[in-house]
Amino acid sequence: MEENVGSTTPTSDNRKDEPADFEHAMNATGFGLFHLVLLIVGIFAACAAVFETTTMSYILPIAECDLKMTLFDKGILNGATYAGMITSAVIWGYLADTVGRRKVLIYGYLIDAVCVLCSSLTQNFEMLVAFKFLGGFIVNGPGAVLLTYLTEMHGSEHRPRVLMVYGMVMSLATLIMPLLAWGIFPRDWKFVLFNYLIIHPWQIFLAVCSIPSVIGGLGLIALPESPKFLMSQGRNAEALLAFQKIYAVNNRTSMSAYPIKELVEEVPNRTSNVNEHVFTIENKPIKPKYKREPRTFSQAFKEGIEQIKPMFRKPLLGHSLHAYAMQFFILLGLNTIRLWLPQLFASIAEYEALDGADSGSANLCAILEYSVNRTSLISDFQDSCAQLPKVSIDLYTNNIIVALVGLVAYSFAGIIVRAVGAKRLLIYGLLISGVLGIALYWSVNGLSTLIISSVFLAVSAVSTSSLLGVVLSLFPTSLRSLVVAIAMMFGRLGALSGNMLFPVFMEMGCIQPFLMVGGVLLAAGALACILPNSDEITLK
């Protein structure tokens, strides 16, 4: 009896001489060194997106005096990045589905690094808001495309794990943030640059946070374009070359050893581009007989309109609106608490230090009332900010604990999602998050606030990753990046709305901000109950 080798590569059976589809071709590349390099670059790229949206939350209690910020100013600063993201969502989604994932990632992260460095040199509140808006405008593109790129660079066996690993990396990035803050903020670093620019510790913190964008953008230069994108564009010659490169790196052999010699034509009537080589089964480049004239801008625009038309028809229209509403609710609740948590911990530590013996009985309502009153009474920043702000170590340790809990949650999420399914994980996670969001109202001290907020952020973050997985599987490749970009736009709109409303509700009373956070997550949980089950759906 012949040895069964059918599980090694999809080309080892009687179909080895037939054109291979994307799944067969990608599985044939194996899993090895290339994907390790991809993981390392992806870690820095994912950290860049988290840093862009999170850095402001850590400088709020530190730069309050330097930037002369009121409570509402802090809400504006937290939401500035999301405002930039909202304005650029459709643009980046269209570019990713037309010019390619790789170009968007490279240029996006490198330009984002420049924006972050410029924000670290700002001298007033208005300039900082402007650069954070611009940074959000830029980073929204690569931030949304990265997940699509990572899923399309893995075979079907490893693709389900990509989402969970991506979530763990995002949690790791949130862990790095308080560690960096802990290492930089307590230092008495203040100097003048170029006889004009006054540099404080929080500005050094922002400059350090540009490093992931630089490394991510430069690292992606060495990686190929997504073969799935190339095949969807009819560029099989380039797709085959990308498969060969991945195979050669994974197996440490020559590119010619790649067993797949021909790919199926996903766009069979496409005419080759000028100077494009067509790879035959013998892997010999042959010049095309016919050349296609370069497309004009109007032609490209018309093709783009035709490409997105299915988005406005059934069933994709209903699926997309469903996903957009859920993303709005989830990120409104998640990012409101996440971005205000450092400020809450700083206020808790300051209040409990003043409260002395009764610090253990300080409830969150009393702390919020104190924080609101103290901020509203600051009228002379020059007198009240004569010394460097003294921030309790609890600001850093509490946020480190929150990030560690999120990291542990993602570690177990992979096991749970296989046991109960992505849809059930999404439903249960959102309902639990909604209850915990409201439960913060009954927090009696800093410790209970830490426990509730840690579980809240961990569960809601895992739920967010589950939703993105469903969105990716419900739409074809030609629309996937656009749909994710628009879904994230609605998510950013939710985050912007939450961060603007949170200080307003804080001034109105205690329970209002927590009812807002918990209520929207419960609504998202209800919508998740009628979400299509996509566990068995493969990439189209």
Specify the pLDDT at position 443: 79
Alpha-carbon gap, residue 462 to 468, rounded angstroms: 10
Question: What does the pLDDT read at residue 372?
Answer: 67
Q: What is the pLDDT of residue 240?
A: 87
The reported pLDDT for the residue numbered 503 is 82
**pLDDT score recorded for residue 478:** 67
Q: Reply yes or no on whether the pLDDT at 115 is more than 80.
A: yes
pLDDT digits (tens, 9 = 90+) for 247-287: 888 888 888 888 888 888 766 544 444 444 443 333 444 44
- State the total domains in the chain: 1
Q: What is the CATH number of the domain that holds 493?
A: 1.20.1250.20
Q: Alpha-carbon distance 202 to 357, whole Å?
A: 32
pLDDT band for position 10 (cuts 50, 70, 90): very low
Average pLDDT of the chain to the nearest whole number: 77
pLDDT digits 0-9 by tens, 489-532: 788 888 889 888 888 887 777 788 889 999 999 999 998 888 76
Q: Determine the pLDDT at residue 2.
A: 41
Is 80 exceeded by the pLDDT of residue 424? yes
Residue 385 has pLDDT above 50, yes or no: yes
Q: Write the pLDDT tens digit of every residue in 172-181.
A: 888 888 889 8
Residue 289 lies in a domain: no
Six-digit token string for 181: 């803050």
**Per-residue pLDDT band at 13 (split at 50, 70, 90):** very low
Residue 504 forms part of a structural domain: yes
Q: Answer whether residue 240 is part of any domain.
A: no
Across the range 305-331, mean pLDDT stands at 76
pTM (two decimals): 0.73
Domain range enclosing 158? 24-226+312-528
pLDDT one-digit tens code per residue, 185-222: 888 888 888 778 888 888 999 999 999 999 999 999 99
Of 84-88, 356-360, 414-418, 481-485, where does mean pLDDT reach its minimum?
Answer: 356-360
User: Model confidence over 431-460: pLDDT tens digits?
Assistant: 999 999 998 888 777 788 889 989 998 888
Please list, in sequence order, all residues whose beta carbon lies within 8 angstroms of the beta carbon of residue 328, skipping any fewer than 6 positions away: 490, 491, 493, 494
For residue 464, being part of any structural domain is answered with yes
Does residue 298 lie within any of the structural domains? no
| pLDDT exceeds 60 at position 16 | no
Is residue 178 one of the residues assigned to a domain?
Answer: yes
Q: What is the pLDDT of residue 346?
A: 79
Whether the predicted pLDDT of 355 surpasses 60: no
What is the signed CA dihedral for 53, 59, 61, 67, rounded to 10 degrees? -110
Are 422 and 513 in contact by the 8 Å Cβ rule? The answer is no
Assess contact for 327 and 488: CB atoms under 8 A: yes
Residue 245, in any domain of the structure: no
Q: Give the model's pLDDT for residue 323.
A: 82
One-letter amino acid at 200 equals: H
Long-range contacts of 447-453 (CB under 8 A, 24+ apart): 449/344, 449/345, 449/348, 449/364, 450/345, 450/398, 450/401, 450/402, 453/337, 453/341, 453/344, 453/402
| Torsional sign, CA 318, 319, 322, 325 | negative
What is the structure's pLDDT at 284? 41
Number of H helices, E strands in the chain: 19, 4
Q: Is residue 327 part of a domain?
A: yes
Which residues are registered as beta bridge partners of 198? 192
pLDDT in tens, 148-171: 888 888 877 777 777 778 777 877
Please give the helix or strand (H or E) that residue 464 lies within, else none.
Answer: helix 446-474
Instruction: Please determine, for residue 79, whether its predicted confidence score (pLDDT) is greater than 60.
Output: yes
